[in-house]
Amino acid sequence: MTKRSFTGIAAGVTGVSFLVAAALLPTFVRDSVIGLPDELDQTTVVVGRGELIDRSSFLSATPVRTSRDVPVSITARTTLAESADNSSAVIHGSLLGARSDVAGDSAVFINSTDVVQVDRQNYLVGAEPVPTWTGPPAPPAEEPARIGTLFSFTPDVQKSDHRFYELMAHTPTTARYIDDDRSIDGMRLYHFRSELPPVDMTKTVGVTQQTQLTLPAAKWGLPGGMDMVTMNQYYANVRDMWVEPTTGATVDLVTSPRIYYAQTADNPHQVTAFAGELRFDQPTLDALLGDAKDGRQLIRWLFVWLPIGLAVVGLLLVGTAVLTRVRHRAG
């Protein structure tokens, strides 16, 4: 075998190897690149103004009052509690809502925690473990099936409706695709909106905070004097999310939650516990935008540019091998 023949064979074998690597690389690296990382600790903050029940009014002789135009913030922390196996993980989520104009424990109006099992690749919520929320005991209830993605969308987001899991109410909802009119720093974002109708929190399993209140009718602002009236807590929300489609990361958020007490969801006499329009603060927005940019660049490099580069080099090497073979026969 001549040196030229050996070089041609080597080029051909190497070229074929590069072509195979280009074809298989996305499959081999997918699980390690797309999905939940082995370590997760993310904190996001939404801020805004809203209505908040005045707890001091429970001690007065007048009906329960709601304060308006109250500055509030809600901090959400998400950590990876443990990995059930290679395909699923247990997520620990907590919410802390507080007035921004009051210091200390008296400022807190939401303090909850949840433990959820999710699929590591598509973020779909599992049925176990049963969620637990902090607070006084509430009656046992039944939870609807856990359906939808938690916290984020799956990578390669399509312009279609997606099932989304509303953590506060432990309820699946639909995030409807709205448009792709918004860009930040040259990054096109998909706009989704989920509209959750009022959910009776007394019928949601695992919620251990107080979801019913029994007070004199006069305290509720109803006729009946000292006759006792029980009202249930209801939760509703409209959530607008702007998502980077390659990674599925939520980059911006505007959420309009409402928590109120009523005898039925549509009863005209409602007492608002909290209602407001909140959005990510600037540090959260900057951090999420940076994470989305880094993730998009990594995915494009590993799934697009690197395979293309390997394929081009492989074709050149195979072409070199064929040309060498032709010349060898001609010689």
> In 3-state terms, what secondary structure has residue 30?
helix
Residues 23 and 61: their CA atoms lie apart, in Å, by 74
Identity (one letter) of the amino acid at 5? S
- pLDDT, residue 59, reads 84
pLDDT tens digits for range 213-272: 999 999 999 999 999 999 999 999 999 999 998 888 889 999 999 999 999 999 999 999
Is residue 181 very low, low, confident or very high in pLDDT (cuts 50, 70, 90)? very high
- Would you call 273 helix, strand, or coil by DSSP? strand
Instruction: Please return the burial class of 150, using the count of CB atoms within 10 Å of its CB with bins 0-12, 13-18 and 19+.
Output: buried
pTM above 0.85, yes or no: no
15: tokens are 């070229």
- Is the CB of residue 47 less than 8 Å from the CB of residue 283? no
Q: What value, to the nearest 5°, has the Cα angle with vertex 167 and ends 161 and 168?
A: 120
Q: What does DSSP assign to residue 149?
A: B
311 vs 117, residue with greater confidence: 117
pLDDT of residue 310: 43
Average pLDDT for 85-104:
81
Length of the chain: 331
Q: Residue 81 is which amino acid?
A: A
With a cut of 80, say whether residue 304 has pLDDT above it: no
| Residue 112 CA to its chain's centroid (Å) | 17
pLDDT, mean over the chain:
75
What gap in Å lies between CA 163 and CA 161, rounded to an integer?
7
For residue 129, say if its preceding peptide bond is cis, omega within 30 degrees of 0. Answer: yes
